[in-house]
Amino acid sequence: MPIATPKQFAAMLDAAQAGNYAYPAINCASIVTINAALKAFADAKSDGIIQFSTGAGQFASGLNHKDAAYGVIVLAEAAHRLAEQYDVLIALNTDHCQPKAADSFLKPLIEATAARRARGENNLFQNHMLDASNLPLEENMAISKEYMKLCAENEIILEVEAGVVGGEEDGAAGTEDTPEDKLYTTPEDMVAVYESLNDLGRFTFAATFGNVHGHYKPGAVKLRPEILKQGQDAVIAKYGEKAKMDLVFHGGSGSDLSQIRETLGYGVVKMNVDTDTQYAFTRPIADHMLKNYDGVIMVDGEIGNKKQYDPRSYLKKAEENMAARIVRSCEDLRSVGKTLYK
């Protein structure tokens, strides 16, 4: 099955909203991690989202170039081919892109989708994120409107954010010392976002409710899921039940499962997963290196063990462990067995 069409992705979001579940959105930066995500979604019989950051694009484009848009196009094209082997729907998204990078990152990607559509092919991407949350809300919405129009012309859903997700994740806005009041989106903000973008096309909204990028010990992150309910209630009170927003949960690593699941009842349909899967990928590699030190390192002039320093020997372990962690995310978000693939 190829990557989901725009209509199929819209149906995925509708189904998640109606069914009180969400899709894990897995950050990937290589074919190995793309394969891990695809295996996991297939094993869980869950539709899902694979996404790429500007940093992933720079990584994928090679040491001599570091061209984020080019690298992401390479990854997306690979994902299209690899997804054909599976019987679940996969949507492709780009993660945090700040306004200063949008011209050189988002616009080339939207143009790449437009070129595919002109040839009668499926969208390269079904979703893009413009993260202008570091700007005042009025400025944020002004630039979001510009990109909403470009996306809507190509049946791409735009993800926007207001408020600041604390911590740092691959260049995303926010720092560990972000003022507490900035970590919570107000009901007034949610109404303003809805009013600014609703007539331009479909969008998803990354509201902030104390979430922080990165991984912290239990109790360190003070989530307030009720913030999402308050915002949704404000929008619905003014514009009716059909105005309920499709929300995105950023910075969920280490969150209490009960709070994750509470957000599903408030309209969260997508949850970004990066830190947890990075660790899941790296842990088996570290284990392999420590247990096979004499094989992967030519100690004291010895020849080592080619089977142990062959990258495939440890990358496959990493891929398997990352896939298992993604299945757990599907379980947490209650998307297991709910694929719309037919």
* Residues designated catalytic: 95
Residues in the chain: 342
From residue 42, how far is each of 89, 271, 336 by CA, in Å? 9, 18, 10
Listing DSSP states for 146-204 in one string gives HHHHHHHTTT-EEEEEES--BS-STT-S--TT--GGGGB--HHHHHHHHHHHGGG--EE
- Hey, CA dihedral for 289, 290, 295, 301, is it positive or negative? positive
**How is residue 24 written in tokens?**
């894990």
Contact present, 266 and 248 (Cβ < 8 Å): no
Parallel, antiparallel, or unpaired: how do β-strands 127-130 and 203-207 relate? unpaired
> Cα separation of 183 and 163, whole Å?
6
> Cα separation of 53 and 67, whole Å?
12
> Cα separation of 113 and 94, whole Å?
13
Name the residue with tokens 């295996």.
39
Contact present, 274 and 258 (Cβ < 8 Å): no
Contact present, 207 and 190 (Cβ < 8 Å): yes
Angle among Cα 201, 106, 187 to the nearest 5 degrees reads 50
3-state secondary structure of 140: helix
> Cα separation of 216 and 124, whole Å?
35
